């Protein structure tokens, strides 16, 4: 069956009542599902969309129910990211791989709006042509990624063999091997259980293409997060849960690795991350209940309170089990310290 993602294959889509009256680009985004609106706008500009048999070049044109849209996705153009001298916090490096402690604010790979100044640009400068897939792959050596505003550990392959073997481990999600990924998250309130599992599939939102959302079983992609309560703020008093917790420190271990998974799952159970403007905007007013020092620390954080603290995997060449740990950066630690005084 032809997919909307297949390059150079024409896929016919029909406008239904849900898309009627929408702009062409928005209607396509709703119908195509897996393709961003920004990407579809580019495809429209390049003549890759036909409306009732005629090329449609105006993304703002309104569609009506019954309109037939033919979409042809062009071949992806090979990227040629440039080398840039961007400082890297290298935790470990050998001829096969490099482990980086990524700072918050650093984008992992070039994309729309971030064509340079990324981790890939820094890696090209640091590693030269030893990175896997160099000269044609948009994410040379990148096996997994972290959101721009998430700090912490990330492994990058330096040759194709290492890339393939690491990718296989990440695809297996540690179910049959030693792969480990654990994050520290500061969330609003406290989950009901000290330990638990969130098993809820995720797909991209049709209303906001920047967001992911939990969907019913049978839709989306499998997403499983194991959580454990590490600390709550304020702490339990004399063993009695008499004080409503404002926030908690949670360890989240990934069994799958979907986009924004931890942020989506924690919001889904009613405990979004502090500082998460995308998934926790409804909790913004709760910040006024924090003491002045904690409010200042949260404002200084300026991002979601999420840090990739533990990363473990089997070395792709030797098979040795490797485990790395990263202490939270100063902005995260300062927020922890301020909350601990509640």
User: What would the pLDDT profile of 124-165 be if each residue is shown by its tens digit?
Assistant: 889 876 665 543 454 567 889 999 999 999 999 988 788 889
Residue 6's pLDDT band (cuts 50, 70, 90): low
The pLDDT score that the predictor gives to residue 65 is: 94
The pLDDT score that the predictor gives to residue 135 is: 39
Give the tens place of pLDDT for each residue, 250-264.
Answer: 999 999 999 999 999
- Least confident interval from 9-18, 130-139, 141-150, 207-216: 130-139
Give the tens place of pLDDT for each residue, 86-127.
Answer: 999 999 999 999 999 999 999 998 776 777 899 989 998 898
In the residue annotation, 160 being an active-site residue is answered as no
Taking the C-alpha atoms of residue 98 and residue 127, their distance in angstroms, rounded to an integer, is 9
Taking the C-alpha atoms of residue 232 and residue 328, their distance in angstroms, rounded to an integer, is 17
The pLDDT score that the predictor gives to residue 36 is: 72
Cβ partners under 8 Å of residue 81, min gap 6: 110, 116, 118, 120, 121, 124, 138, 140
Q: How far is CA 140 from CA 151, 159, 293, in A?
A: 20, 9, 42
Taking the C-alpha atoms of residue 287 and residue 298, their distance in angstroms, rounded to an integer, is 8
Of the residues 25, 67, 147, 276, which is catalytic?
A: 147
Cβ partners under 8 Å of residue 208, min gap 6: none
Range among 2-16, 225-239, 276-290 rated most confident:
276-290
Give the tens place of pLDDT for each residue, 312-329.
Answer: 999 999 999 999 999 999
Give the tens place of pLDDT for each residue, 19-77.
Answer: 999 999 999 988 887 677 777 888 898 888 999 999 998 999 999 999 999 988 877 55
The pLDDT score that the predictor gives to residue 110 is: 77
């Amino acid at each position: 069956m032809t997919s909307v993602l297949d390059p150079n294959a024409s896929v016919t889509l029909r406008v239904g009542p849900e898309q009627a009256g929408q702009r062409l680009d928005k209607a396509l985004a709703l119908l195509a599902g897996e393709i961003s609106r920004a990407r579809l706008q580019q495809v429209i500009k390049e003549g890759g969309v036909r409306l009732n048999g005629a090329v449609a070049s105006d993304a703002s044109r309104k569609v009506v129910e019954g309109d037939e849209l033919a979409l042809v996705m062009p071949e992806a153009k090979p990227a040629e990211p440039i080398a840039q001298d961007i400082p890297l916090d290298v935790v470990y490096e050998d001829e096969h791989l490099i482990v980086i402690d990524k700072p918050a604010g650093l984008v992992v790979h070039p994309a729309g709006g971030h064509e340079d100044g990324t981790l890939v640009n820094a890696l090209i400068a640091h590693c030269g042509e030893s990175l896997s897939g160099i000269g044609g792959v948009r994410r040379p050596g990148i096996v997994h990624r972290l959101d721009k505003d998430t700090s912490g550990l990330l492994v990058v392959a330096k040759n194709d063999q290492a890339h393939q073997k690491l990718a296989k481990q990440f695809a297996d999600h540690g179910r049959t091997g030693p792969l480990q990924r654990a994050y520290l998250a500061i969330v609003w309130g406290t989950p009901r259980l000290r330990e638990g599992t969130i098993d809820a599939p995720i797909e991209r939102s049709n209303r906001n293409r920047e967001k992911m959302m939990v969907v019913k079983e049978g839709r989306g992609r499998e997403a499983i997060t194991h959580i454990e309560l590490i600390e709550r703020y304020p702490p339990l008093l004399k063993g009695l849960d008499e004080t409503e917790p404002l926030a908690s420190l949670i360890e989240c271990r990934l069994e799958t690795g979907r986009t924004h998974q931890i942020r989506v799952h924690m919001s889904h159970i009613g405990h979004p991350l502090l500082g998460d403007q995308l998934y926790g905007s409804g909790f913004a007013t709760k910040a006024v209940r924090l003491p002045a020092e904690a409010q200042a620390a949260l404002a200084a954080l300026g991002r979601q309170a999420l840090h990739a603290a533990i990363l473990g995997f089997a070395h792709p060449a030797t098979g040795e089990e490797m485990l790395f740990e990263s202490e939270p950066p100063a902005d995260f630690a300062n927020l922890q310290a301020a909350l601990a005084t509640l």
